[in-house]
Structure 1
Amino acid sequence: MLERKIYRKLDEWKRTSDKKALCIIGARQIGKTTIIREFAKKNYEHYVEVNFILDKEAGKIFDGNLDADTIITNLTAFKMQEFVPGKTLIFLDEIQECPNARCAIKFLVEDGRFDYIESGSLLGVRYKEVPSYAVGYEEICYMYPMDFEEYIRANGVQDSTIELLKTCYSEHSEVPEVVHQTMLKLFYTYIVVGGMPAVVQIYVNTHDIGKVVALQREILELYRLDIGKYAEGSDKIKIRAIFDSIPAQLNSKNRRFILNKLVDCLEKCLICRHIRRFAD
């Protein structure tokens, strides 16, 4: 399994007394479900997962009365699993597909018998569908594709080397040449491979760029399909055109296009990030 920084956040949340529901928000295919499953299996005796895309009928659990007893009764019947108070994690995946479920989190957290993690993408553009936010009952955590540190760990760079790099950065000292050259080579491959976990894993396992590109194209097509599914009216064509133009705009001298058009439409979905210039 690829090491992800967010796992530390999950550990901190688990140790918190009077914990809220943890809502992990991020783009598609960045590893949210994988990391939550791994965490659940290691830290809970009982683990219940509801995926609102795969389990088409699951949304009905949250229709009508949203009191905790009714929801838990319906959920137990739907999943046919054992729910043990204090020892069970309930994972609500793709929660953007069921706004009522996110609304119900308030009552489930107040009930206090179980721990809850929500996960979803596109939550930033579907907020209007949520009847009432569970203000004070959710802890929001944003997740992104693998950063360069996570990437080099996946490629075998050891903790001691990473600590050396951090020390050199903080002390403004020179990085040893052999380390510098190794990091440059890894950075060049990171630019090509990117941070999608499945793509990184294929590269680590095979070093086959053909397989890397094939999977990248599959993920891009999934994003295009999502734009068609969630965007409204004429926005579908506009947003898809903007999304498809990202590579060309990154290579353009005209940076204003990115700031004016992309940030609004795509940054809300965590599909792209606006990286501002820094001097250090």
Structure 2
Amino acid sequence: MELKRDIYKNLLRWKKDDTGKVLQVSGARQVGKTHILKKFAYENFRHVVYISMAESSGEQFLQCLDKVGEWEPGTPREERPVHKAFELFDCDFRDTKDTVIVIDEIQESSRVFNLVRTLAREFDCYAIITGSYLGRLLSKEFFLPAGDFEDLTLETLTFAEFAEAFGKRELYENIDLFGGSDPVKYRELKACFELYQRIGGYPSVVNMYLEHEAWNAVMQSLGV
């Protein structure tokens, strides 16, 4: 089941604002960062360049950077080496507003992270970086380009998002917090919240429950 995430509207706002800044999306593992960013990218851009620094695509992009970094004394230097690296990585790459670059697990490469300033200041296309252990960016080999990126955080499902997955969001948003609604509605929402307390907001666990409609299936998936 496709779970609606409220961060999507913030991604759309970032695209519309077009500040030129790189977007950094942080969050713990398994909260759905890669999924929501790919969904956003492929639904809103003509061309998507996806690179994961924890997979072969990351190694391949580093090879492209190595290639454009080659130089012999007395020969012309590459004027726009980072642009050229993306062109080598993806022959269809065009530095236009129809393109978005998504770099996943950015914490695995200080070399690539340190391109953020270049992406923000010398590229016309949009760029997003994300990762699960962004605390590593505080290491001295990572240059933090203040003013060149915006930050969004994706957490596990909020109760509002959880309620929507179970068809209860309208109830959640419209119920009278001062006791003026039908008691049946309070009991219905309380049951939903108690379920949220039991299984939490990790998307894979919520989807497991929705698929099997059984608590035992969730416990088995968690190895409990």
- Class of the TM-score when normalised by the shorter of the 2 chains: 0.7 to 0.9
Inter-partner Cα distance in structure 1 for 2:120 and 2:41: 18
- Structure 1 residue aligned with 2:131: 120
Structure 1, unaligned stretches of length 5 or more? 219-280
CA apart distance, 1:101: 1.7
Q: Deviations over 1:145-165 (max 9, x none)?
A: 001110010011243x23213
Q: What residue is the counterpart of 2:41 in the other structure?
A: 40
Corresponding position of 2:183: 177
Q: Choose which of 91, 103, 118 in structure 2 pairs with 1:92.
A: 103
| 1:212, distance to aligned residue in structure 2 (A) | 1.6
Looking at structure 2, the residues matched to 156 and 105 of structure 1 have their Cα atoms a distance apart, in angstroms, of 40
| Structure 1 position 86, deviation (Å) | 1.6
- The yes-or-no answer on 1:188 pairing with 2:189 is no
Letter in 1 for 2:124: R
Look up the equivalent residue of 2:217 and give its one-letter code.
Answer: K
Unmatched runs of 5 consecutive residues or more in structure 2: 70-77
Alignment correspondent of 1:213: 219
Provide the rounded CA distance (Å) in 2 between the counterparts of 1:158 and 1:4. 12
Within 5 A, what are the aligned runs for 1:111-190? 111-159=122-170, 161-165=171-175, 168-169=176-177, 172-190=178-196
Q: Quick one: distance in 1 between partners of 2:112 and 2:128?
A: 12
For 1:134 and 1:189, the matched residues in 2 are separated by: 42
SS of the residue corresponding to residue 141 of structure 1 reads strand
TM-score norm. by structure 2 comes to 0.85
Change (3 A) 1:112 1:85: same
Structure 2 contact 20–121 (Cα < 8 Å) conserved: no
Quick check: 1:68–1:108 contact (8 Å CA) kept in 2?
A: no
Which deviates more from structure 2 when the two are superposed, residues 133-142 or residues 174-183? Answer: 174-183
Q: Distance in 1 between matches of 2:62 and 2:221?
A: 31
Residue by residue over 1:6-37, the C-alpha shift from the partner in whole angstroms, topping out at 9 and shown as x without a partner, is: 01110110111333111000000000011111
Q: Match of 1:53, SS?
A: coil
Q: RMSD in angstroms over aligned alpha carbons?
A: 2.3
Counterpart of 1:25 in structure 2 is 26
Give the superposition deviation at 1:61: 4.6
Q: CA deviation at 1:5?
A: 0.9
Aligned in 2, Cα 1:145/1:40: closer, same or farther, shift over 3 Å?
same
Q: Aligned pair in 2 of structure 1 residues 210, 62: CA closer, same or farther (>3 Å)? A: farther
User: What's the secondary structure of 1:113's corresponding residue?
Assistant: coil
What is the identity, as a one-letter code, of the residue corresponding to 1:88? T
CA contact (8 A) 2:20 2:124 kept: no
Contact 1:4 1:146 in 2 (8 A): yes
Note closer, same or farther for the CA distance 1:154–1:68 as it changes in structure 2 (3 Å cut).
Answer: farther
Aligned with 1:105 (options 103, 116, 120): 116
SS in 2 for 1:86: coil
SS in structure 1 opposite 2:124? Answer: coil
Post-superposition offset of 1:72: 2.5
Letter in structure 2 aligned against 1:203: Y
- Give per-residue Cα distances to partners, 1:91-126, cap 9 Å, x unaligned: 001111112222211111111321001111111244
Q: 1:77: how far off?
A: 1.7
Residue 9 (str. 1) matches residue 10 (str. 2): yes
SS of match in other structure, 1:145: coil
Q: Deviations over 1:212-257 (max 9, x none)?
A: 2233349xxxxxxxxxxxxxxxxxxxxxxxxxxxxxxxxxxxxxxx
% same residue:
26
- Is 1:92–1:119's contact at 8 Å kept on the other side of the alignment? yes
